[in-house]
Each structure stands twice: as C-alpha cells, then as structure tokens.
Amino acid sequence: MESFVIKTPCSSANIGPGFDVIGLALSVYLELHVTVDRSKTTSDQPLNCRITYEGEGEGEIDLDPQVNLITRVALYVLRCHEQRFFPSETHVHIKNPIPLGRGLGSSGAAVVAGVMLGKEVGGLSHLTEDRLFDYCLMIERHPDNVGAALFGGFVGTYLKPLTPEDVARVEIPLSEVLPAPAGGVDTGERPPDPPHGIGHHIKFPWTKEIKAIAIIPDFTVATHRAREVLPPSYSRPDVVFNLQRIALLPVALGQSPPDPELIHLAMQDKVHQPYRQTLIPGLNEIVESMSPKTDDGFLGVCLSGAGPTILALATHNFEGIAGKIVDKLRQFNENKDLKCTWKVLEPAEGTKVIR
C-alpha cells in the first residue's frame, strides 16, 4: 500500500493594486490523504477512485471522482499521459479548512492539489513545478492564486505572450479541458495538452514583522460573478494609479522595519475593488476609513481575491483592527448580525508531497 499527503496552502490574490498578478500563499492548508492499493487489481469504485471529505464544504462538495474538481483535474493530467483512470484502487481523503467562495483561493488550492495528485498517482515524475503550473493555468486562468498555492510565499505572476497556435490551445473552452461527466461515458479522447511555459512567477521578499489578518464574512461571492462586474476597459488615470502603486508594493512589504505610510499607499487600487464593492457592502468605507494614523499597528487593507474576505496587514493590535472591520461590514450589510470570523495568518510554503 502506497500512501502520501499533498498539502496546499490557501491564497490571497491581488493584494491591492496587483489584480490578476500578485498572490500571497497563507497558512491554512488543504490536505489530500491519498492511499493507492495496487494489490486490488479490480475496483468497484468509479474510475477506481473513492473520495471521502471533511471540513469546509462537507456534504456540499460532490464525491463522485468524475464531478469533484480535485479528481477531475487529476484525471486531466492522467489523460494527457494516456492514463484513463486512477490506479486501482485509489482513496483520496480530502481535509479542507479553506472556506469556499470567500476569496481565499479554495478553487486555486483544489486545482493545484489536483494537478499534483495526477502527477503522483500517475508516476509522472518528469513533470516539473513549472510544467505543473501550465496544467493549472489550463483550468484556473488567472495565475495569481494557483501561482501562490503552487510555489508558496509572496509572488508576482505573469503570462508569456504565446504563439497564435498556443493562444488557440489555452482558449479552448474549459468544458473540453475538464469534460463534464457525460453519464460516466468515457469517450477515450485525449484532452488538449497545455502549451509549454504559459505562466511564470517571481518571488518577492516578505518581512516577518507583517502579519495578514483575514476577516471572513459569512456569505459567498463566486469568483466568476465578481469578474463579471469588472469593466472591459479602464481610463488612463486609473491604470497609472495602479502602476504607480504596484511598483512600490513588493519593495514596501519586504522592508524591515515596515514603513506603514508607504504600505498603506502601496495597497490602494482602482482596477477591481471600486467595482466589487457592490458585492461586498462596506468595502469602500473600510478602505477609506482606516490608516496607520487612525489605527495602531495597521499597515494597509484590501479585498482578498474576489472577496468577500477582507485582508488587513498589521504588525500588532490584530483584535482591534479585525473588530473595526467586522463592525463596518455589519454596519453596511443588510444583516446587522452578519457572522464574521477572523484569523491571523502568515505567508506559507508552496505545495508539498509528504511521504
């Protein structure tokens, strides 16, 4: 019996001005506890795989390996390598503490863990981390979450200009990359291989005095919905505003001791947050009302990913800062008793396979 654990961090994408570019892996981990019993030459499980699940989304996430995002992604990797099923018999126990649809990269973590699962059960040791990134980008098409979850730390991610043929390949509809389960019928068709080197990343320094407070309201915002509210184009002043700040952000967050005024300035955004505040009542008021002058220990604040989680950076006074943000969220939400949880998180290592 072979067994191993795949551990993948959650992530906070964008971090102010870095829409679709910057990602921060944080210390809450999706774990896949995998066993492969190759002595069982036949299996009555669909695709030879049994899934069990605990944690966020328990009872809600589908445990059919043809439907579950993690196993569908693993199958995509396997099928690109002429393997149509999981090895007999695979058991994947998913432990998920990452809340779903809250802007903490649950789907990015699921995609990265799924790609790693495909690599491990398929014996595909030639797949490097960079190549795994290509597979992730065929599924989650913005690179910030999957880049952070795969490589870890505070990362800048970018997509390489592709040849017209490769552009056509990465624009293949997701339904062809991860075919919907057609009544369990396996057509035998090989899915499209990812082009090589779709995305790249660079690691930025992060000074250890800075902690990330995630304030997580008890409602969901689906990422695709939060992308639909964004405009198709931007004014030059708004683009220049973000460019000026993104040039500061990686330096500002790497400096020790941190410079609160610089960080506060560097975390402002005009590309996604102003449009998403309709989905996250109180976001604008939080951003406008908090500063290092008014709030002890506070460095800056932004929407985490597509929201609704709010990410505040601070050196101390975590409870005071989180409490103020929770109060504002309740003040502007229809539900004045809106439940919110908060956690102080640290930058995390990337995806690991533990044997």
Bond prior to 308 in cis (omega within 30° of 0): yes
Regarding 122 and contact with ligand LJ64HWYM (CB under 6 A), the answer is: no
Regarding 210 and contact with ligand ADP (CB under 6 A), the answer is: no
3-state secondary structure of 272: coil
Site track for ligand ADP across 12-51, x = CB under 6 A: ------------------x---------------------
Q: Give the whole-angstrom CA distance, residue 25 versus residue 105.
A: 9
Q: Give the whole-angstrom CA distance, residue 65 versus residue 251.
A: 43
Q: Which of 272, 283, 302, 340 binds ligand LJ64HWYM (CB under 6 A)?
A: 272
Regarding 277 and contact with ligand LJ64HWYM (CB under 6 A), the answer is: no
Q: Which does 119 bind (CB under 5 to 8 A by kind): ligand LJ64HWYM, ligand ADP, none?
A: none
Site track for ligand ADP across 302-341, x = CB under 6 A: ---xx-----------------------------------
Regarding 223 and contact with ligand ADP (CB under 6 A), the answer is: yes
Regarding 306 and contact with ligand LJ64HWYM (CB under 6 A), the answer is: yes
Site track for ligand LJ64HWYM across 11-30, x = CB under 6 A: --xx----xx----------
To ligand LJ64HWYM, the closest distance from the beta carbon of 219 in angstroms equals: 13
Q: Which of 144, 158, 80 is nearest to 112 (CA)?
A: 144
Regarding 105 and contact with ligand LJ64HWYM (CB under 6 A), the answer is: yes
Question: Which string of DSSP letters, residue by residue, matches 293-343?
Answer: TTSTTEEEEEE-TTSS-EEEEESS-HHHHHHHHHHHHHHHSS-TT--EEEE
Regarding 70 and contact with ligand ADP (CB under 6 A), the answer is: yes
CB 15 within 8 A of CB 26: no
Regarding 9 and contact with ligand ADP (CB under 6 A), the answer is: no
Q: Which does 144 bind (CB under 5 to 8 A by kind): ligand LJ64HWYM, ligand ADP, none?
A: ligand LJ64HWYM
CB 91 within 8 A of CB 50: yes
3-state secondary structure of 137: helix
Regarding 96 and contact with ligand LJ64HWYM (CB under 6 A), the answer is: no
Residue in the block written with tokens 């098409």: 141
Query: Considering only residues 134-153, where is the footprint of ligand LJ64HWYM by CB under 6 A?
Result: 142, 144-145
Expressed in angstroms, the distance from the first to the final Cα of the chain is: 12
CB 68 within 8 A of CB 46: no
Regarding 118 and contact with ligand ADP (CB under 6 A), the answer is: no
To ligand LJ64HWYM, the closest distance from the beta carbon of 223 in angstroms equals: 4
352-354 and 2-13 beta bridge pairing:
antiparallel
3-state secondary structure of 203: strand
Regarding 103 and contact with ligand ADP (CB under 6 A), the answer is: yes
Q: Which of 306, 296, 292, 309 is nearest to 345 (CA)?
A: 309
3-state secondary structure of 283: helix
Residues contributing to the site for ligand ADP (CB under 6 A): 30, 57, 61, 68-70, 94, 96, 100-108, 110, 222-223, 305-306
